[in-house]
Amino acid sequence: MATFGAIAKEKDYPAPLLISINVSGRQIADPTFIGEAARIAKEAGIPPETIKLEITESLAVNIEPTQEWIAQAHEVGFKVSLDDFGTGFSSLETLYRLDLDNAKIDQAFSKGLQNDRRNRQLLRDIVTMIRGLDLEVVVEGIETQSQLEFISALDCHYAQGFLFSRSIPEEEVKKLLQEPPDFGM
C-alpha cells in the first residue's frame, strides 16, 4: 500500500518518494539479500536512501544478527524500519539496541483514538519514547481526519492508512504523485 506523505506543517510537495519493502525472516537470513537488493536498486536507478527495509518485531528478537544485518543495509544506503511496533515479541531493548531509522507504530494504537483517553495517552507516550531515541515515527492505520490531526499534533513524521489511499494500481499512483491530495494539514 502506498503511504502518502509526511505530515507537514507547510505544503512541501512534491515530497521525496520513499519505497518501503517488507523483509521476511528468510531474506534476513540470506547473506546475499542486501547486495542483491542494492544491485536491483542501482539497475532501476533508484537511490538506496529512498528505500526503507521494514522488519517486524518478531524478526528483530535475535539482536546481534539483526544488528549486523542493519549495519549492512545502512552501508549501502538503505534505511531500516521496525514495523508493527508495540504488538510483537520484542522488548524496548529492540528500540534501544538496534540502529533503526524509524519505528512504525502498529494500527492497534490508532484505532481507538476517538473514544479512548487511555489509548490516546498510550500513543502519546509511545511517540515521545520513539522520538526521544532520535527515530522517525510512522503511525499506521490512519483512517479519519481526526486521527491525522491528533498524530500531527504529536509531531509524528509520517502517517499511513486508508485516509490517504487504499491499494491502487500503478497508473493511479502516478496520478497521485503528479497531483498530491490536500489532507487539510
Question: Taking all residues of the chain, what is their mean pLDDT, rounded to a whole number?
Answer: 86
Which of 4-8, 49-53, 138-142, 179-183 has the least mean pLDDT? Answer: 4-8
Specify the CATH number for 19-178; select among 3.30.530.20, 3.20.20.450, 3.40.50.1360, 3.40.50.720.
3.20.20.450
Q: In what order do the strands lie in the sheet with 102-105?
A: 19-22, 51-56, 79-85, 102-105, 136-139, 158-159
Could you read off the pLDDT of 26-73 as tens digits, one per residue? 999 999 999 999 999 999 999 999 999 999 877 777 888 999 999 999
Domain ranges (residues) in the chain:
19-178
